[in-house]
Copies of this chain bind each other. A is one copy, B any other.
Amino acid sequence: MTALVSPAGPEQPSLRVRRLLLHTQHQPVVVMHTDCHVCRSEGLAARSQVLLTNGARQVHATLFQVDGDAVLSHDEVGLSETAWDLLGVAEGDEVRVSHPPALESLASVRRRIYGHRLDAQALSEIVRDVAAGRYTDVHLAAFLTASAALPLDENETADLTGAMIAVGDRMEWDAPTVVDKHCVGGLPGNRTTPIVVAIVAANGLVMPKTSSRAITSPAGTADTMETLAPVDLDLATLRRVVEAEGGCIAWGGAVHLSPADDIFVRVERELDVDTEGQLIASVLSKKISAGSTHVVIDIPVGPTAKVRGEDAASHLASRITAVASRFGLAATCVQTDGSQPVGRGIGPALEAFDVLAVLQNASDAPDDLRRRAATLAGAALEIGRKAGKGEGTALALETLADGRAWKKFEAICEAQGGLRAPPRAAHVHPLVAPRAGRVVHINNRKLSRLAKLAGAPESKAGGVHMDVRLGDEIDRGQPLLHVHAETTGELAYALDYAARAGDIVEIEA
């Protein structure tokens, strides 16, 4: 088809970028003036998806529009931090703005919604678009919902895992055996990782552990560890620590092992839907990308834990093992008690004190944390061939008892930048039992909220110290827990919540 009169086609329109310093998590957002010439000529409305192009770099973003002159002029496009970083622009640069091309991979998402299984090719196209930030929340939620309505089968789970590995960074280690561990679903205070790494590395295995910071919980392993040593290591430092000491306990933020997973996890949390397939692909993609050859998976089972029963735990364990083996990764799953918090501290520094007590063989060290860590470290020692079948836990306990674990932990901390003492809170207040009786239930969800209101994890010393455990017989007026806070304001928030929240610790007369 030919136009009789064909004026030269207009250039794709461009706008000057303006950094808004706007934080939107992973979602690239751009703001344009309602009356800007690009919105008019391209027919862009609020909430359109737009494609921004800066040379070879492109980003799909959600468009909001603004009136008036306070925020933007007509020839500017305002960028959120995510959009700014992805585009790699400098203030005042010109970028082109247009309708994004149709996302071909959405056809696969739609097929999956209607019950058709996806092959490796389809999943890899979906994951590539997700990692590139091209999927909106609507697209992400649709894909995840479809994979929950009709659960991913073993092939799909493996293909999804492979696709997620392909879009992330990879690490490689010059060792035949590289051990890792992971805990499925959070139990407050379940801070076994620093202890496990110390035991395992003390026995000559390589364990380059990277951990996350808290997102919704009062502390992540990286937050806790940071009260004991620097954890924000670049790749070169991390490698140097591992080469010197056989292990590290670092924050994973410097490496992007599974960027697609970071995006999926945010949406799964908002949906509050956990699917086995996504869980497995998430965990295994990170372990495989990190160069692990062996991994121990801690599966806490309990009425308020992520995995509620033994049948579900067994199914999960066998699926994990099967998918892992396709990638040459040996996985061992350990079912543990998920009915109550582990140790006594909830919050970065308070959990660090528990870790120190176990490593230093303190007389008041929490025994549940010691036993859990020994069980997991034992499993790692067995799959790493440092202990015979059934003899790993004993070796782990021995490594703790004879001080080798503590010595290794000190050395790792020194290599990471120096061991330091966790801070102590300025304000500590008890919550006491309103009646005598037996502790019959501890609400993990409310405990987490209480610890966060007390300032954790931003306030390193803030959180909760538990004084009782399930089954304890207690007197009226006896402390159930202590709230730790760095400021009186945070203390007030926490105590106010405790007064309103109903039973956090339930006592039966």
Check A10/B496 contact, CB under 8 A, given A71-B71, A271-B139: yes
* Cα separation A149 to B109 with both chains bound (whole Å): 11
Give the distance to chain B from A362, nearest Cβ to Cβ, in Å: 27
Q: A34-B23, A43-B452, A139-B270 are in contact. Are A3 and B431 (CB under 8 A)?
A: yes
A146 proximity list for chain B (CB < 8 A): 145, 149
Question: Are A273 and B110 neighbours in the complex by a CB distance under 8 Å?
Answer: yes
User: Shortest beta-carbon distance, A320 to chain B, in Å?
Assistant: 21
How far is A270 from B452 in the complex, measured between Cα atoms in Å?
A: 36
A54 at the interface (CB under 8 A from B): no
Minimum Cβ distance to chain B for residue A304 (Å) = 15
Check A10–B433 contact: CB distance below 8 A: no
C-alpha gap A20/B65 in the complex (Å): 10
Chain A 468-509, CB within 8 Å of chain B: the 1/0 string? 000000000000100000001111110110111001110000
Number of interface residues of A (CB under 8 A): 82
Task: Report yes or no: A21 in contact with B66, Cβ–Cβ below 8 A.
Answer: yes
Task: Report the nearest B residue to A491, measured CB to CB.
Answer: B7
Are B139 and A498 in contact, with the CB atoms below 8 A? Answer: no
A3-19 interface mask toward B, CB cutoff 8 Å, 1 = contact, 0 = none?
A: 11111111000000000
Q: Which of B5, B29, B40, B500 contacts A9 (CB 8 A)?
A: B500
Q: Which residues of B contact A41 (CB under 8 A)?
A: 453, 489-490, 493
Contact yes or no, B489 A114, CB < 8 A: no
* B contact residues around A27 at 8 Å (CB): 47
The verdict on A120 contacting chain B, using a C-beta distance below 8 Å, is: no
Taking A46-B23, A149-B145, A496-B10 as contacts, is the C-beta distance between A5 and B429 under 8 angstroms? yes
- CB proximity to B under 8 Å, residues A337-365: none
Contact yes or no, A1 B503, CB < 8 A: yes
Copies in the complex: 2
Minimal beta-carbon separation of A42 from chain B (angstroms): 9
A125-142 residues at the B interface, CB under 8 angstroms: 136-142
In the assembled complex, A397 has its CB within 8 A of some CB on chain B: no
Residue numbers in B under 8 Å from A140 (CB-CB):
138, 141
Q: Mark A413-457, 1 if CB is under 8 A from B, else 0.
A: 000000000000000011111100000000000000000110000
Verify B138–A10 contact, CB threshold 8 A: no
Measured CA separation A144–B113 after assembly (Å):
10
Scoring A residues 22 to 50 as 1 if CB is less than 8 Å from chain B, else 0, what string do you get? 11110101010010000011010111000
Chain B residue numbers with a CB within 8 Å of A488 are 7
- For the complex formed, measure the closest distance between the CB of A145 and the CB atoms of chain B, giving whole angstroms: 4
Q: Is A267 an interface residue (CB 8 A)?
A: yes
Q: In the complex the two chains form, is B9's CB within 8 Å of A43's CB?
A: no
Q: A272: CB under 8 A from chain B?
A: yes
Does A316 reach chain B (CB closer than 8 Å)? Answer: no
The distance in angstroms between the C-alpha atoms of A110 and B498, with both chains bound, is 30
A115 at the interface (CB under 8 A from B): yes
Set of chain B residues within 8 Å of A452, measured between Cβ atoms: 43
A430→B434 CA distance, assembly (Å): 86
Q: Within residues 72 to 89 of chain A, which ones have a CB less than 8 A from any CB in chain B?
A: 80
Q: When the two chains form their complex, are residues A66 and B271 in contact, meaning their CB atoms are under 8 A apart?
A: no
Q: Is the CB of A21 within 8 A of B67?
A: yes
Q: Is the CB of A141 within 8 A of B145?
A: yes
User: Which one, B9, B24, B67, B453, contacts A492 given CB within 8 A?
Assistant: B9
Is A106 located at the chain interface by the 8 A CB criterion?
Answer: yes
Chain B residue, CB-CB nearest to A41: B493
Shortest distance between the CB of A339 and any CB in chain B (Å):
20
Q: Smallest CB-CB separation from A452: which chain B residue?
A: B43
Binary contact readout A138-160 vs B (1 if CB under 8 angstroms, 0 otherwise): 11111011101110000000000
Partner of A1, one of B270, B493, B505: B505
- Report chain B residues within 8 Å CB of A68: 21
- Bound-complex Cα distance A23 to B46 (A): 6
Q: List 13 A-B contacts (CB under 8 A).
A: A1-B432, A3-B430, A3-B432, A3-B495, A5-B429, A6-B499, A9-B499, A20-B66, A21-B68, A110-B271, A138-B138, A139-B270, A141-B142
4 tightest CB-CB pairs across the interface, nearest first? A9-B496, A141-B141, A149-B149, A23-B46
Q: Which residue numbers of A lie inside 8 Å of B, CB to CB?
A: 1-10, 20-25, 27, 29, 31, 34, 40-41, 43, 45-47, 64-68, 70-71, 80, 106, 110, 113-115, 136-142, 144-146, 148-150, 266-267, 270-273, 429-434, 452-453, 458, 480, 488-493, 495-496, 498-500, 503-505
| 8 new A-B contacts at CB < 8 Å, known A2-B432, A43-B452, A142-B142 | A4-B429, A21-B67, A24-B47, A136-B137, A138-B267, A138-B271, A142-B144, A149-B149
